Amino acid sequence: SNGRFHSDWCSMMYPRLVLARNLLRDDGVIFISIDDGEIHNLRKICDEIFGVSNFITNIIWQKKFSPQNDAKYFSQNHDNVLCYAKSILNFKRNFLPLTDEQKSRYKNPDNDPRGVWISGDCSVGRVTEKDCYPITTPSGRVVYPSSGNSWRFSKANMDKLIADNRIWFGENGDNVPRVKRFLSETNQGLVPISIWYHDEVGHTQSASQELKKLFDDTAYFDYPKPVGLIKKCLQIATDTDSIILDFFSGSATTAHAVMQLNAEDGGKRKFIMVQLPEVCAEGTEAAKAGYKNICEIGKERIRRAGDAIKSE
């Protein structure tokens, strides 16, 4: 209803983001969750404060798993999570751990003593004459890289890999060669992608369910973020001793995610939660339960989440 709505929003965000940048470590990053309404303005503000060159990515989070049938035009099933570094030259991105589903793809059809493995392509999309040599399969068939490609490895390195049983020619020994990649040697993990699906990080309904579970199946807070969403940000951008600041902390999902990740990897991350004491409206479930403002809900969540993580 306010004709200066966008201007007011920018005026509110700008000094907070300047402060956030000043508080960041030189290798630190900021994640900002936002819908499509102000993302165009937020990008401009962040480009000015952090610098265009320090923009890392815009993550698309699938916040809903089914269409909203009463939507006027499109069902808005995603939010954005902007990521900026204080200095992109100092930021070192972590790899993500393999999921159980991804680990299940590793097999050992030849009973290799090094354990389970998956196979990868031995060719690359370039033509280098010296890397277009013939390879004789165990069945006696001679193969070359496909048109427009070369072998990934030099002839000398390919011979070493074959001798070390790191090249797979299929169960009959007649297939095009593929390189074996052992799970035991996969210590880097996965490069994060910019689309985060609800089945990986949670959605708005699962976030509400997480909160209700802590508060005896009662909804005291609208639109919390799922723990998995924040935890993924932490896995990508933090060390085990990082300090995480959330200055729009709401129901304190970030604190919950920090404690959860610490429990999983033995980390000693610390969190600082900041939230204006917005009053819980009279007649709401939160007000009926004695919570005067959002901060009290967040503090109680931290206590309950900590107890639940300890017991688990």
- What is the rounded distance in angstroms from the CA atom of residue 132 to the CA atom of residue 158? 12
Nearest CA among 117, 121, 122, 120 for reference residue 132? 122
Q: What is the pLDDT of residue 214?
A: 92
Q: Are strands 195-196 and 55-62 parallel, antiparallel or unpaired?
A: parallel
CA distances in angstroms from 96 to 34, 135, 209, 217, listed in the order given: 23, 36, 25, 32
Encode pLDDT of 257-270 as tens digits. 999 999 999 999 99
Q: What is residue 254's predicted lDDT score, i.e. its pLDDT? A: 97
> For the chain (length 312 residues), average pLDDT per consecutive 10?
82 94 96 94 97 97 91 92 97 89 90 94 92 95 92 95 96 94 82 94 94 89 93 97 95 97 96 95 91 95 96 92
Q: Look up tokens 């999309």; give the residue.
A: 125
Are the C-beta atoms of 47 and 88 separated by less than 8 Å? no
User: What DSSP character marks residue 95?
Assistant: P
Span between the terminal Cα atoms of the chain, in Å: 48
Structure tokens at 300: 């109680």
Query: How, if at all, do strands 142-143 and 135-136 pair?
Result: antiparallel
**The predicted structure's pLDDT at residue 188:** 72
Look at residue 181 in the predicted model and tell me its pLDDT: 92
Global pTM value = 0.81
Separation of CA 57 from chain center: 12
E strands along the chain, which residues? 29-34, 55-62, 78-85, 117-121, 123-124, 135-136, 142-143, 150-151, 167-168, 178-182, 195-196, 243-246, 270-273
Q: State how far the Cα of 143 lies from the Cα of 79, in Å rounded to an integer.
A: 48
